[in-house]
Structure 1
């Protein structure tokens, strides 16, 4: 076997030679441009890794059968937890970027036009893989306008495939317990309604829309999938539901970290350029604010917490269901 050298394995000649500053080419060297390039190159490498993890998760979900307590589900949860950890690093990198002052940035900013982070096709691909639909996007008219033709083709191909949220919906709909729990659902609905205050009882339409309507009507989780997800949240103490609960929870963490990154990015942009237009022609902070407010991918999972009730009020499951959930040993 041929010996492997550290520098060759990492192709360090390519990586360390990939920082060509525009300011030096204009014979006006700006010290902080090196930091600016390296930070964004690091972002793109992390985007590549996150895409790698999410695509592998989607491939597992596409299997015809995925057990609730299987090694495959453990792999899914593990890889999505890794994704959350990487997203936290992306947020922390903004601290490094903010060591650059607005005047430092102005030394080279105008030399970058029309380059912009909005041209990051990998980030758009990641959002699409997770399940951010075109109609949910802020600034749809601007969304792919800055991409190269081959990048637009790739993004559209990804958007035509099943994203993670859709695959999750199919998996939740296959949950075996709820098909036999019509009586339980009736009891739970009664308990939930009794738990509401007078003001909340005036707004029962949200409950009926999420769990009662068979029409998706712009939603990404069906009524059946939503009932299954709620069941997992309510009875997550049962052994067979612990991994499914971790899965739902890690998806909420992904949304939280993406939102935190967008928020920190928005504030950094405001700090650096104020209300000026971005180098790519966007409205800068105002565009980013719209994305912060709108680009929640797993919001329908988060919404389910509105329909929880106290543990002591939960309907007791029948013995057969408890046995199948792994809480009581079979007799």
Structure 2
């Protein structure tokens, strides 16, 4: 069958996209605010990128939710590749704030009051993204305000995302099935770690037990002790061929959190610059709310905490010869 000729503008539906800006200040009887066009296009670009990130994250969840997953298979390489794409897109989201900041506070005031109660806080796609990555409702900052500004249909989509398996849950399940660590190895490593602590760090010995051993103390944690032991093992011995890809996966998840943190931090600074201590158009406390969310919404923080338990590579316990063989590509 002969392929139909594709026209650029039709393929991208440019008439829809370029015709989707309808500034409030441009409407009859109002004084047009020049910078409102920039404001709309920036936020539309954000939502398009959120859609692409969700597309990537959904594909990762579909792969990792399979009954079996080879740690060095093409599928695992795909997972890492797509999550790295997510981090690159998040960097673009941070950079877009540079464009937004070409608008001055007075430029914003020309149309700000016309937007109420619309707010970026009503971005249901971003809330879906947080849920799919692993942020639970009971871990959110400002729970009472969380869905109060949203339409019922958007709340339903977010709740559905929260009820599904998240990247963090799937990472926990993936880590739990790692077979490498024996009780003898772990007891040896714990002793070496405790002996490496400076006097001011001795409390870390108790934290070590909480994170890696005590299942009863982990009710508020997302990663089980078994998963944490496997993740730390990957970080410690990432130089072995079989652990290179698993390490890239963990490192990429940490970078996603890092870039989300950068985005939130830039957003806070921009809001402080634009409206000072005034409330947001959606009724939030503005910069204060954003600061609370930034401090609390670190999704993969338990992976980051594992860096507290690393030791000098020269002190690493030597792995058994049989295990070393299984960590190669043979």
Tell me the residue number matched to 1:162: 165
Distance between the aligned counterparts of 1:170 and 1:202, measured in 2?
Answer: 29
1:46 partnered with 2:49: yes
Tell me the residue number matched to 1:66: 69
Deviation at 1:240, TM superposition (A): 0.5
Write out aligned runs for 1:123-142 (5 A). 123-142=126-145
Tell me the residue number matched to 1:214: 215
Deviation at 1:326, TM superposition (A): 0.2
Distance between the aligned counterparts of 2:88 and 2:82, measured in 1?
Answer: 10
Write out aligned runs for 1:143-222 (5 A). 143-178=146-181, 181-215=182-216, 216-222=218-224
Query: What residue ranges of structure 1 are gaps of 5+ in the alignment?
Result: none
| 1:280 counterpart SS class | coil
Query: When the two structures are superposed, what TM-score results if normalisation uses the length of structure 1?
Result: 0.97
Distance between the aligned counterparts of 2:204 and 2:66, measured in 1?
Answer: 39
Tell me the residue number matched to 1:89: 92
Deviation at 1:197, TM superposition (A): 1.3
Coordinate RMSD, CA, aligned: 0.9
Distance between the aligned counterparts of 1:155 and 1:183, measured in 2?
Answer: 45
Tell me the residue number matched to 1:263: 265
How many correspondences in the alignment? 326
Tell me the residue number matched to 2:281: 279
1:119 partnered with 2:122: yes
Deviation at 1:112, TM superposition (A): 0.5
Tell me the residue number matched to 1:108: 111
- Per-residue CA deviation, residues 41-66 of structure 1 (Å, 9 max, x unaligned), is 00000000000000110111101111
Distance between the aligned counterparts of 2:164 and 2:52, measured in 1?
Answer: 20
Tell me the residue number matched to 2:227: 225
Deviation at 1:199, TM superposition (A): 2.3
Q: 1:101 to 1:306 in 2, by over 3 A?
A: same
Deviation at 1:203, TM superposition (A): 4.1
| 1:132 counterpart SS class | coil
Quick one: which of 23, 27, 32 aligns to 1:29? 32
Quick one: which of 3, 23, 27 aligns to 2:5? 3
Query: When the two structures are superposed, what TM-score results if normalisation uses the length of structure 2?
Result: 0.97
> After the TM superposition, which parts of structure 1 deviate over 3 Å for at least 4 consecutive aligned residues?
none
Deviation at 1:136, TM superposition (A): 1.1
- Per-residue CA deviation, residues 171-228 of structure 1 (Å, 9 max, x unaligned), is 00011212xx211111111110110112222442211110011233110000000000
Distance between the aligned counterparts of 1:11 and 1:122, measured in 2?
Answer: 21
Query: What residue ranges of structure 2 are gaps of 5+ in the alignment?
Result: none
| 1:204 counterpart SS class | helix
